[in-house]
Structure 1
Amino acid sequence: MPQTLSNLLIWLNFFRLNDYSIQLVFFLISINLQISVAFLASAMFSDVKTATVVAYIYVFGTGLLGIFLFQFFLEDPHFPRGWIIAMELYPGFSLYRGLYELSQSAFAADYRGVNGMRWRDFGDGMKEVTCIMLIEWLLLLVSAFYIDQITYSSKHPLFFFLQSPSKNKQHHYSSNKQISKFVVEMEKPDVCQEREKVEQYLLESTGNCAVLCNNLKKVYSGKDGNPQKLAVRGLSLALPQGECFGMLGPNGAGKTSFINMMTGIIKPSSGSAFVQGLDILTDMDRIYTTIGVCPQHDLLWDKLSGREHLLFYGRLKNLKGSVLTQAVEESLRSVNLFHGGNGDKQVRRYSGGMKRRLSVAISLIGNPKVVYMDEPSTGLDPASRKSLWDVVKRAKRKGAIILTTHSMEEAEVLCDRLGIFVNGSLQCIGNPKELKGRYGGSYVLTMTTSKEHEQEVEELVHRISKNAKKIYRTSGTQKFELPKKETKIAEVFQAVEKAKKMFPVVAWGLADTTLEDVFVKVAQTS
């Protein structure tokens, strides 16, 4: 029977003749060193494509330089040993030196018919490179942690020696209050009231709110001669526990940028924000344990099953044993992925809707105190959407939810309060009934007749209300806005009945203002 490739590799002299424990120690240290290098690189690079290119250059470049350059220095007895040690400080060369020593020992042992490298004859070169790799492993690991803290958590470079920033919060709040007074934009009364509420919370205690944002801004720098892009303009928002807040707005309004700032993906340009009393600028590592996120685009691994995804994220939320197993089962059931073996299928076999439901389940596992959902129902069929709404309703009893959506029906069903964003700023805020009453103080009368009777319909409507406004007209169908203050529903019915006797009316209808009408009106006038 032909040997498999793995058997052939195991029986190579390199692995067979050298002491197994020496190989175990060497490869264990080298693997952890490479992981530390990866951590350091992830802290230094913010762009995935750039990091990928540099990683390929590092791996393949090191191999080529080791074979065609470093090996000649090792074999040259006149080359200074001090320079060899200096070159081994580069992790790629230290790994190459260790492999070189092991291969030379195996070659010599095979040639002489003896054993390869053993602990009793551990060579100077192998001791040297093992010590270098061990020290570098620890130093790079600490360096990666340090750079990550000062770069992405925005901590002071001397944060090890400074007291916790939470002790200086009162000063931080008062300074933010002074900054928030200099808001240039003219804001509407409801938005100003929300800003005043935020300032009051800052003076009292941020722990009273699940989410508190004070004059939060994000500006993207311009590239290729383009001007700067103001994605979020001085947002102030107070979100208590048990509330679902809906963020509505056209594409590019700044909703996703806001969520990215609150979850630590990008840093705000100015302003401050707190989650459960923790500052997103300094306490992001603690905030991660209290939040859940359903991103706009699914971040899943094709080769893992739905159950494995939930097990992984459940462990990140510190769930263990039977509690973890139960949480995974409940999550799969809540999003209809439990039956039919769907939970154990690889994600690459999921439909788009199933992936979306899994993302929602991931965001809710571990009962997070704050959940961010960026268009969670995108791509779902009506039955799955209704089931998802029930899941969100149950989840908001245990914490706060910030939801972005383009579905006005979803916003009305789920959200206790709504905020409409246009060009990065909050234009209005309130519950759905308040917004419809504030921005939709009119009825919409629709009437369809033949084209020759359009003028008669218009005259009829103006007799009902002098300030009626035509908002739509095509092929005999006309829509009018009738101010509620000067319109009585009974008069509309009487007028339509009279019109039917004068000319044929194909169809007509009277509707109250919808949330969609409010959204369109605010978006167009802002």
Structure 2
Amino acid sequence: MADSTNEQSSFWTQANALLRKNLIFQKRNMKTNIRLVLFPLVLCLLLVLIQVLVNTQLDKPSNRCGCICVDTGKGPCEKKCGIEYSTLEQASSCPIPHPPEWLPLLQVPSPQFRAVRTDFTSYGDLPGDSCRKTGSCPVTTLVTGNNQTFGQTVAGNMFSRPLNIDSSDLLYSLADNALGSETDTRFTNFLDTAFLSNVPIDILQPQCSSNSQISVTIQLGATALEKDIRCAQGLQLWRNSSSEINSELYKGYLKGNPESKINEILAAYDFVNSKDNLFNVTIWYNSTYRSDTGNQPLNLIRVARSINLASNAYLQSLLGPTAEMLFEFVKEMPKPETKLRLDFSSLLGPLFFTWVIVQLFPVVLISLVYEKEHKLRIMMKMHGLGDGPYWMISYAYFLAISSIYMLCFVLFGSAVGLNFFRLNDYSIQFVFYFLYINLQICLAFLVADWFSSVKTATVVGYMMVFGTGLLGGFLFQFFLEDSSFSKAGVIAMELFPGFSLYRGLYEFSQYAFNGNYMGTGGMEWKDLNDSNNGMREVLIILAVEWLVVFGVAYYADQVVSSGTNPLSFLRKKQKNLQSSFRKPSLRRQGSKVFVQMEKLDVDQEREKVEQLLLESSTSHSIICNNLKKIYPSRDGNPEKFAVRELSLALPQGECFGMLGPNGAGKTSFINMMIGLIKPSSGTAYVQGLDIRTDMDRIYTSMGVCPQHDLLWETLTGREHLLFYGRLKNLKGAALTQAVEESLKSVNLFHGGVADRKAGKYSGGMKRRLSVAISLIGDPKVVYMDEPSTGLDPASRNMLWNVVKRAKQNRAIILTTHSMEEAEHLCDRLGIFVDGSLQCVGNPKELKGRYGGSYVFTMTTSPTHEEEVENLVNQLSPNATKVYQISGTQKFELPKNDIRIADVFEAVGNAKSRFTVQAWGLADTTLEDVFIKVAKGSQADSTLS
């Protein structure tokens, strides 16, 4: 077969055409883009406004440092402010040049969690679990070392001092004892929670008496604190090695067991190789007490007391009980006056900013579904746009829009002073947002294959926007902050992209909030190594999912665009297995009936095709060879034969008209020829190229005018033709000239019509533009599906003239239900019924072959109907009555039986005998031929 002479447009030519079209489309939607970009700014300003309102409420006098008016005796009173004049609520904002002194404390386990004998702890020196019911369990410390005698001696001095409280010097006498509390500490120690809570302070003693609780009053500035101090027995137990201590501490770990099996130890001391002249000790302490808003350990301030106990006990073992290493108090660093502030944006950032970012998803999704719903993607593909350029430009187009959106989002947030953006490292933010928007675009491409309606996609898209934020804020965050929930479970939930986004924003907000509170920075790259920072896992998940979803989305797009089943290889195998059990006689019988239905002209067309396939070159633009399309059985229905072994040859310069009732197979035939569906068997050659393997090259020399106008509402007629002209490899002056000629040919050039948006065109103007698009670029083969539908007579006549001129150097296949249009435009006609070609030939041949009769009509009074029937029988014994009602009768008279002059003579004689109201003699029309062939073929099909 001959090769196509049309030069195929290159990858970059197609990409350039699509890019130019997208830029114009984007320019026309500038208002929508501005509203989209301004949305983050509005939200950031809203957060700033809320921040100001919150700070205004927090900055009330009741929250400021307390003040009093002191009478100096020299006139007006003097205003003095300070922590000593403040309530506990006001104290946090006061300047503290001299922070209060707090007694050094130990972090003592709660009574219900103190170590006892259990099924997993076999040490007999631990108390029984009955003490937990009375709250009298001792506070246990573990001791080990190379020298057991030395270690036990030193440990025995830790809690040996008898309780002796001197009310005249209360703090000093209390500090001389081993005090502890089960309350958590804070970031700062200006106000120690142990002295502000209702929980008593424990004082560790070797033994406790029955009445071992006292109350003391501790003066803090102008505030008197009433505290209960209770005795807690201190128990030192020896272990043979540090590995035993490790095992026991691990088994009793607070977060490693169900609550009923928690066995907490106060501390553990390994004196290693210590002796009288050498002091070397390792101390274990529980560092899992952490803040609610961060991951920093908060009990480090209570470790100092544990160190002092060991040091003081060693000193007393050397010098006696009177020797003492005093540890009177701990105090915070001085601080200036501060205002109570709440970083509102960081607290609400994960929820609000999730909505901001995810709203890009429906924007991309709607754009993709719009092209799918209006079949614009198919239209571009049929005019030569390959999948590679489409994916590259579309992906880059959406990535550019998303990147600009995210850049504005971060810039706006930073400009208005939101710590969420300012404190966290911008490079981490860039990587995180870049990965997510890429994943989001891939998800939109994938999800777009599930929708065929923009309205449905819009509803579902925005439901996903709000649903993702709400599920993240009120479900996923609960699991993030639940220490008992496994890390693996959190990672599994983060596989949902919306939760990955929320986790990343949550980490940014936590670091920004803590950084603002502590006066430090936000998240940096080194923080990703923190085991409690989930950002590293999120970045890995986003990167992997990006690649996976991209591959799946591309595969799904290929499946949808080709119209095949994603598991077609399994279906094909199943079909082969089923065919092996099918009775062969049924197939042969069906083939026999089909052969009997074929007509002589169809056989001649088949022989012509077979002869052309043997030639090395041919002038025929289209050759169809036994083309067949069978739709598989579904829902219990049998297989559907849409096209039955069609053979057809169209030379260059011919317009071939396809006629047939609805469901005859015309659309399936056209869809196979333009590459939308694959033939079940057989093939067709377009300009010598096989439709099964060379559709990408065929598109370059093919034009399509679909039944419905597939146009962009915001592009002008000229811009449509420029885009499709570039796809057909037209460039420069040749492109401009081709566009102007096309516009003139369909009367869309003058009066500014060419530069008017297609959305404002009338139906006829859109139809003419669609025809012009199908002819741009001088395609050698054009398919027109009912091109004159909806046109007024003048526009239709003009369009017919365009098609007549266009067919001179190309082959055109035209489908229509208008017999007038078929007879006016088509050189040959083919009538399709039930998937097969029933007849083929020019209009005169078909009318001569299937219309060999005249139609005689006469209207008289009902009493003369019999006389009329006798008259007709005299003219032709083979006449057939086809219609009769109220005196009007219609007959078909074979042309071979009568002469027209005889008919006029017989009617003249009849008028002399009875009244003839009306009569007529007409030749067969093309419409009569169509109806006759269709009815006859359907009747034969029913009998078969």
TM-score, normalised via structure 2 length: 0.46
> Given the superposition, is the C-alpha separation of residues 107 and 336 from structure 1 closer, same or farther in structure 2, using an over 3 Å criterion?
farther
Task: State the Cα distance separating 1:238 from its structure 2 match.
Answer: 2.3
> Given the superposition, is the C-alpha separation of residues 5 and 276 from structure 1 closer, same or farther in structure 2, using an over 3 Å criterion?
same
Task: State the Cα distance separating 1:440 from its structure 2 match.
Answer: 0.8
- Tell me what 1:427 maps to: 838
**Counterparts of 1:395-474 in structure 2 under 5 Å?**
395-474=806-885
1:37 aligns with 2:443: yes
Task: State the Cα distance separating 1:327 from its structure 2 match.
Answer: 4.0
1:388 aligns with 2:799: yes
1:372 is matched with which residue: 766, 783, 799?
A: 783
2:655 is matched with which residue: 240, 244, 256?
A: 244
- Say which is worse superposed, 434-443 or 196-205, in terms of deviation: 196-205
| AA aligned opposite 1:8 | V
- Tell me what 1:172 maps to: none
| C-alpha distance in structure 1 between counterparts of 2:926 and 2:624, whole Å | 25
| C-alpha distance in structure 1 between counterparts of 2:913 and 2:669, whole Å | 56
- Say which is worse superposed, 430-439 or 238-247, in terms of deviation: 238-247
User: Is residue 448–residue 477 contact of structure 1 (8 Å, CA) maintained in 2?
Assistant: yes
> Given the superposition, is the C-alpha separation of residues 206 and 153 from structure 1 closer, same or farther in structure 2, using an over 3 Å criterion?
farther
Write out per-residue CA displacement over residues 125-171 of structure 1, whole angstroms, 9 at most, x where no aligned residue. Answer: 6566456545544554445445555775599x9xxxxxxxxxxxxxx
User: Is residue 153–residue 281 contact of structure 1 (8 Å, CA) maintained in 2?
Assistant: no
Write out per-residue CA displacement over residues 215-267 of structure 1, whole angstroms, 9 at most, x where no aligned residue. Answer: 33334455555444433333222233322211111122222222233333344
- Tell me what 1:263 maps to: 674
User: Is residue 856–residue 919 contact of structure 2 (8 Å, CA) maintained in 1?
Assistant: yes
CA RMSD of aligned residues (A): 4.2
- Tell me what 2:42 maps to: 8
| C-alpha distance in structure 2 between counterparts of 1:306 and 1:258, whole Å | 29
| C-alpha distance in structure 2 between counterparts of 1:135 and 1:323, whole Å | 47
User: Is residue 41–residue 51 contact of structure 1 (8 Å, CA) maintained in 2?
Assistant: no
SS in 1 for 2:794: helix
- Tell me what 2:169 maps to: none
Task: State the Cα distance separating 1:375 from its structure 2 match.
Answer: 1.8
Task: State the Cα distance separating 1:385 from its structure 2 match.
Answer: 0.9
- Tell me what 2:599 maps to: 188
User: Is residue 562–residue 676 contact of structure 2 (8 Å, CA) maintained in 1?
Assistant: no
User: Is residue 563–residue 677 contact of structure 2 (8 Å, CA) maintained in 1?
Assistant: no
| C-alpha distance in structure 1 between counterparts of 2:496 and 2:523, whole Å | 24
Write out per-residue CA displacement over residues 27-58 of structure 1, whole angstroms, 9 at most, x where no aligned residue. Answer: 45433333333434556x59769995986776
| C-alpha distance in structure 1 between counterparts of 2:884 and 2:731, whole Å | 63
> Given the superposition, is the C-alpha separation of residues 58 and 195 from structure 1 closer, same or farther in structure 2, using an over 3 Å criterion?
farther
SS in 2 for 1:486: coil
Task: State the Cα distance separating 1:97 from its structure 2 match.
Answer: 4.1
- Say which is worse superposed, 427-436 or 345-354, in terms of deviation: 345-354
- Say which is worse superposed, 104-113 or 245-254, in terms of deviation: 104-113
Write out per-residue CA displacement over residues 383-436 of structure 1, whole angstroms, 9 at most, x where no aligned residue. Answer: 111111122223323422221111000001111111111122211111111111
Task: State the Cα distance separating 1:516 from its structure 2 match.
Answer: 0.7
1:288 is matched with which residue: 688, 692, 699?
A: 699
| AA aligned opposite 1:252 | G
Write out per-residue CA displacement over residues 309-347 of structure 1, whole angstroms, 9 at most, x where no aligned residue. Answer: 444444444445554444444444433344454444444
Write out per-residue CA displacement over residues 88-139 of structure 1, whole angstroms, 9 at most, x where no aligned residue. Answer: 5554444444444454555556656787667898888656645654554455
- Tell me what 1:230 maps to: 641
Task: State the Cα distance separating 1:189 from its structure 2 match.
Answer: 1.4
| C-alpha distance in structure 2 between counterparts of 1:324 and 1:21, whole Å | 45
> Given the superposition, is the C-alpha separation of residues 519 and 342 from structure 1 closer, same or farther in structure 2, using an over 3 Å criterion?
same
| C-alpha distance in structure 2 between counterparts of 1:510 and 1:501, whole Å | 19
Task: State the Cα distance separating 1:487 from its structure 2 match.
Answer: 2.6
> Given the superposition, is the C-alpha separation of residues 515 and 38 from structure 1 closer, same or farther in structure 2, using an over 3 Å criterion?
same
1:525 aligns with 2:559: no
| AA aligned opposite 2:769 | L
**Counterparts of 1:487-526 in structure 2 under 5 Å?**
487-526=898-937
**Counterparts of 1:96-175 in structure 2 under 5 Å?**
96-104=502-510, 107=513, 129-130=538-539, 133-134=542-543, 136-146=545-555, 148-149=557-558, 153=562
> Given the superposition, is the C-alpha separation of residues 196 and 72 from structure 1 closer, same or farther in structure 2, using an over 3 Å criterion?
farther
User: Is residue 153–residue 284 contact of structure 1 (8 Å, CA) maintained in 2?
Assistant: no
User: Is residue 601–residue 841 contact of structure 2 (8 Å, CA) maintained in 1?
Assistant: yes
> Given the superposition, is the C-alpha separation of residues 485 and 378 from structure 1 closer, same or farther in structure 2, using an over 3 Å criterion?
same
TM-score, normalised via structure 1 length: 0.78
**Counterparts of 1:333-372 in structure 2 under 5 Å?**
333-372=744-783
SS in 2 for 1:289: helix
Aligned residues: 500
| C-alpha distance in structure 1 between counterparts of 2:44 and 2:739, whole Å | 40
| AA aligned opposite 1:293 | V
| C-alpha distance in structure 2 between counterparts of 1:148 and 1:277, whole Å | 28
SS in 1 for 2:646: strand
User: Is residue 828–residue 843 contact of structure 2 (8 Å, CA) maintained in 1?
Assistant: yes
| C-alpha distance in structure 2 between counterparts of 1:398 and 1:351, whole Å | 30
Task: State the Cα distance separating 1:523 from its structure 2 match.
Answer: 1.2
- Say which is worse superposed, 82-91 or 232-241, in terms of deviation: 82-91
Task: State the Cα distance separating 1:458 from its structure 2 match.
Answer: 3.3
| C-alpha distance in structure 2 between counterparts of 1:278 and 1:337, whole Å | 34
Larger Cα Rg: Structure 1 or Structure 2? 2
User: Is residue 562–residue 677 contact of structure 2 (8 Å, CA) maintained in 1?
Assistant: no
| C-alpha distance in structure 1 between counterparts of 2:514 and 2:726, whole Å | 49
- Tell me what 1:162 maps to: none
| C-alpha distance in structure 1 between counterparts of 2:507 and 2:592, whole Å | 67
> Given the superposition, is the C-alpha separation of residues 313 and 140 from structure 1 closer, same or farther in structure 2, using an over 3 Å criterion?
farther
- Tell me what 1:173 maps to: none
Percent identity over paired residues: 69
SS in 2 for 1:479: strand
- Say which is worse superposed, 420-429 or 297-306, in terms of deviation: 297-306
| C-alpha distance in structure 1 between counterparts of 2:730 and 2:491, whole Å | 46
Write out per-residue CA displacement over residues 163-194 of structure 1, whole angstroms, 9 at most, x where no aligned residue. Answer: xxxxxxxxxxxxxxxx9x95750211112222
- Tell me what 1:171 maps to: none
| C-alpha distance in structure 2 between counterparts of 1:353 and 1:491, whole Å | 48
Q: What residue ranges of structure 2 are gaps of 5+ in the alignment?
A: 1-37, 48-344, 350-409, 415-420, 567-587, 938-944
> Given the superposition, is the C-alpha separation of residues 274 and 76 from structure 1 closer, same or farther in structure 2, using an over 3 Å criterion?
farther
> Given the superposition, is the C-alpha separation of residues 275 and 485 from structure 1 closer, same or farther in structure 2, using an over 3 Å criterion?
same
SS in 2 for 1:211: strand
| C-alpha distance in structure 2 between counterparts of 1:212 and 1:330, whole Å | 30
SS in 2 for 1:387: helix
1:212 is matched with which residue: 586, 605, 623?
A: 623
- Tell me what 2:260 maps to: none
> Given the superposition, is the C-alpha separation of residues 471 and 347 from structure 1 closer, same or farther in structure 2, using an over 3 Å criterion?
same
| AA aligned opposite 1:36 | C
SS in 2 for 1:485: coil
User: Is residue 206–residue 212 contact of structure 1 (8 Å, CA) maintained in 2?
Assistant: no
| C-alpha distance in structure 1 between counterparts of 2:552 and 2:635, whole Å | 34
| C-alpha distance in structure 2 between counterparts of 1:371 and 1:487, whole Å | 44
Looking at secondary structure, tell me which structure has more helix per residue. Answer: 1
User: Is residue 563–residue 676 contact of structure 2 (8 Å, CA) maintained in 1?
Assistant: no
- Say which is worse superposed, 31-40 or 381-390, in terms of deviation: 31-40
